[in-house]
Amino acid sequence: MNAIPRLETERLILRGWEERDFEALAAIHSDPEVMTFLGGVQERGDAWRALSGLVGHWVLRGYGKWAVERKSDGVTMGRVGLINPEGWPGMEVGWTLGKQYWGQGYATEAAQAALNYGFLTQPVDRLISCIDPDNLASQAVAKRIGEAKGERVNLRIGGKDHPVDLWGITRAAWRKRQAAA
């Protein structure tokens, strides 16, 4: 397996998953507020399988979601990165942080790093984010990283349909934002 690359931002480290991250991930997956738009709360066993899937995505696709660690204290805050599982409408930039880390710009900071990594390393013309139509906080993050709202699609997960809006940014729009920064 190739090593998961490590990214750093001003306040965060995006790194490969370790077994020690399980408790933080299990807490996130058991929080009803965090999981409102992500299929609902999960039991510890489901969170373990999710952690295995996070690691496995890197093995199978060569990219995935990182564990997000805060530099100031080393706490694992959540998961952010790139996914494109079977049946997905495209390569997605996704983010999920524990509730105690909301509203501080961490999701935007990590998502921007993941989006930049995606365009710098992957041969894609567009990156998307699949966002529940009622998830205003994630819509705000999408706007801050330069994504625009697109069409509505149904994602079929666990035998259930989930309507989501496809937010996205093209490589050309990303380059223009990079040049203006």
Range 10-31 average pLDDT: 95
Tens-place pLDDT, residues 153-180: 999 887 888 899 999 999 999 999 999 9
Q: State the chain's mean pLDDT as an integer.
A: 94
- Residue 2 pLDDT grade (very low, low, confident, very high; cuts 50, 70, 90): low
Q: Under CATH, which architecture does the 7-180 domain have?
A: 3-Layer(aba) Sandwich (3.40)
> Phi/psi of residue 102, each to 5°?
-75, 155
Q: What is the pLDDT of residues 89-126, one digit of tens each?
A: 999 999 999 999 999 999 999 999 999 999 999 999 99
pLDDT higher at 104 or 181: 104
Predicted pLDDT of residue 1: 45
